[in-house]
C-alpha cells in the first residue's frame, strides 16, 4: 500500500474533522470520499449524504411512538437501506476511517450492523476518536479529568436529557459495541488532548494527529480596535451546559455591567457552519467552550482568522506544545469570575489582543495545516502495512 494512490473512505463526520483530512489527502494525490449525515443544523460538507427522513417534530414523534410499540427505529432502518443501496460506492477502499464508535443517533445494535458492513466491504479499518466515545466518557465519569463535559452533570446543572447522549456511551449496549469495534480495527487515532489522554493505555492506540484545518479558506485579519471590543458568543443550545455556555453568559453579565461603553457582545444560536464562520468575522474575542483541555474546530478556525479565543488551553496542552499561558489562546476555566477577569485584562490591554491574534494564527499554521495532518494519517495507516 505504500507509495501508491490510496482509496480512502472516511465514514461519519463531526464539524469538518474528516472533510479537511479528505482535502489534504486529495491534494497529495489520493482518492477519498466522506460519507455521513450533515451533523444536524451545522450542515457540514459530505460527498455522500445519508439522510434521516424523520427529522421534523411530527416525524420524530412518529419515530418515538413506533419504537415504543415495536422496538423498531425507522430512522435506523432508513439509514441502513441507504447504505446497502450504495454498497458498490462504499466498497473496495484501501482504508476506512470511522469518525466515532457510534456516529448515529440510534440503537447500537443497528450501528454494529453498519460498522460490520463497511468493514467487510473494504480493507484496513481504523477509528478516529474525534468526539465522545467510551474511553473519553469513562475517563470523565471516573473524574480523571479535573473537569469535563460531565462536570455540570455532577453539579446538577441542566436536565438529565442534556447528558443522556454522553452517558449512553457507558451503557451495556455501547460497551459491547466498543469492544467489538476495538477487536476489528487496526488502530485508533485521536485528534486532540481530550481524546488523547483517555486512550493512552489502549494497546491499539496509534497516537494523536491534531485537528486538520484548511487554512486556504481562512484569511487572517489583524484585529483593528477603533471603537468597542466585539465579543462573540456562539451557542449550540443542544450542548448549552456541556460546553459551559451558562458560565460564559454569567461572565458576560459581569463584564457588560462594568464595561458597557467599551464592548459589544454578539450572541448567535444554532447557526449552520457557513453562517457561523461569517458571523464572528468582525469579532475580536470569541467564547468557544469551557470543559476542554484542547481546542476543537470552531476555536482553531477562529484562531486562524485572527480571533482571541477562550477555549480549552490547559496545562497539559501548554506542556504538549511547549507554550506559555495566555500567549496563543485563553484557557476558559469553569469559573465565571475568572473568565470575566481575563476578559477585563484584554479590554484594558487591547494591544494583547493583537499579539495573541498573530500567535494564534501561527500556531494553527504550524500544527494544524491539513496537508501536514493528511501526511501524518498516511504514515500511521501505512506504518505496519
Per-residue model confidence as pLDDT tens digits over 208-223: 999 999 999 899 999 9
Residue with cell 460519507: 35
For residue 44, pLDDT beyond 80:
no
* Third-level CATH fold of 216-367: Rossmann fold (3.40.50)
CA-angle at 196, arms to 193 and 200, nearest 5°: 140
pLDDT band, very low/low/confident/very high, at 329 (cuts 50, 70, 90): very high
* Third-level CATH fold of 7-212+370-382: Rossmann fold (3.40.50)
Q: At what angle do helices 74-85 and 57-70 cross, to 10 degrees?
A: 100
The end-to-end CA distance of the chain, in Å, is 7
**Cβ 259 vs Cβ 282: under 8 Å:** no
The predicted model gives 168-183 an average pLDDT of: 97
pLDDT band, very low/low/confident/very high, at 58 (cuts 50, 70, 90): confident
Q: With 0-12 CB in 10 A as exposed, 13-18 as middle and 19+ as buried, what is 262?
A: middle
Question: Considering only CA atoms, which of 162, 186, 148, 161 is closest in space to residue 294?
Answer: 148
Residue with cell 457507558: 170
What is the four-CA torsion angle of 105, 92, 206, 371, rounded to 10 degrees? -90
pLDDT band, very low/low/confident/very high, at 271 (cuts 50, 70, 90): confident
Contacts of 243 (CB under 8 A, 6+ apart): 149, 235, 236, 289, 290, 291
Contacts of 231 (CB under 8 A, 6+ apart): 252, 255, 263, 264, 265, 266, 283, 284, 285, 286, 287, 343
Could you tell me the residue ranges of all domains in the chain?
Answer: 7-212+370-382, 216-367
The predicted model gives 254-262 an average pLDDT of: 93
Rg (alpha carbons) of the chain, rounded to whole number: 21
Domains 7-212+370-382 and 216-367 share a fold: yes
**Which of 52-56, 75-79, 275-279 has the highest mean predicted lDDT (pLDDT)?**
75-79
pLDDT band, very low/low/confident/very high, at 56 (cuts 50, 70, 90): confident
User: Please, what is the average pLDDT of the chain?
Assistant: 93
What's the rounded Cα separation, in Å, for the pair 229 and 227? 7
pLDDT tens sequence across 61-107: 888 888 888 888 898 999 999 999 999 999 999 999 999 999 998 89
What's the rounded Cα separation, in Å, for the pair 74 and 76? 5
Amino acid at each position: 500500500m505504500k507509495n501508491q494512490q490510496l482509496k480512502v473512505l472516511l465514514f461519519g463526520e463531526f464539524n469538518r474533522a474528516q472533510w479537511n483530512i479528505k482535502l489534504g489527502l486529495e491534494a497529495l494525490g489520493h482518492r477519498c470520499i466522506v460519507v455521513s449525515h450533515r451533523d444536524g443544523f451545522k450542515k457540514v460538507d459530505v460527498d455522500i449524504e445519508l439522510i434521516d427522513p424523520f427529522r421534523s417534530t411530527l416525524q420524530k414523534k412518529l419515530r418515538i411512538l413506533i419504537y415504543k410499540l415495536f422496538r423498531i427505529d425507522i430512522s435506523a432502518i432508513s439509514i441502513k437501506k441507504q447504505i446497502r443501496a450504495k454498497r458498490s460506492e462504499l466498497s473496495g477502499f484501501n482504508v476506512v476511517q470511522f469518525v466515532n464508535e457510534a456516529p448515529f443517533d440510534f440503537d447500537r445494535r443497528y450501528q454494529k450492523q453498519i460498522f460490520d458492513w463497511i468493514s467487510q466491504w473494504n480493507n484496513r479499518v481504523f477509528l478516529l476518536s474525534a468526539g465522545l466515545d467510551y474511553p473519553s466518557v469513562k475517563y470523565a465519569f471516573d473524574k480523571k479529568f479535573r473537569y469535563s463535559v460531565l462536570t455540570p452533570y455532577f453539579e446538577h446543572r441542566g436536565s438529565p436529557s442534556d447528558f443522556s447522549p454522553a452517558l449512553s456511551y457507558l451503557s451495556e449496549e455501547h460497551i459491547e459495541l466498543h469492544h467489538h469495534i476495538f477487536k476489528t480495527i487496526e488502530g485508533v487515532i485521536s485528534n486532540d488532548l481530550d481524546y488523547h489522554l483517555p486512550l493512552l493505555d489502549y494497546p491499539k492506540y496509534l497516537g494523536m494527529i491534531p485537528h486538520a484545518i484548511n487554512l486556504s479558506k481562512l484569511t487572517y485579519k489583524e484585529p483593528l480596535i477603533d471603537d468597542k471590543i466585539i465579543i462573540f458568543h456562539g451557542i449550540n443550545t443542544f450542548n448549552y451546559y456541556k460546553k459551559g455556555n451558562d458560565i460564559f453568559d454569567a461572565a458576560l453579565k459581569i463584564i457588560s455591567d462594568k464595561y458597557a461603553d467599551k464592548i459589544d457582545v454578539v450572541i448567535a444560536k444554532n447557526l449552520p457552519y457557513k453562517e457561523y464562520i461569517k458571523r464572528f468575522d468582525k469579532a475580536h474575542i470569541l467564547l468557544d467552550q469551557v470543559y476542554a483541555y484542547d481546542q476543537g474546530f470552531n476555536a482553531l478556525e477562529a484562531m486562524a482568522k485572527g480571533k482571541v479565543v477562550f477555549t480549552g488551553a490547559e496545562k497539559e496542552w501548554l506542556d504538549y506544545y511547549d507554550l506559555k499561558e495566555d500567549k496563543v489562546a485563553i484557557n476558559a476555566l469553569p469559573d465565571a469570575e475568572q473568565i470575566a477577569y481575563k476578559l477585563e485584562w484584554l479590554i484594558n490591554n487591547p494591544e494583547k489582543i493583537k499579539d495573541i491574534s498573530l500567535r494564534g494564527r501561527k500556531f494553527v499554521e504550524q500544527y494544524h495545516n491539513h496537508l501536514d495532518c493528511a501526511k501524518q494519517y498516511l504514515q500511521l495507516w501505512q506504518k505496519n502495512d
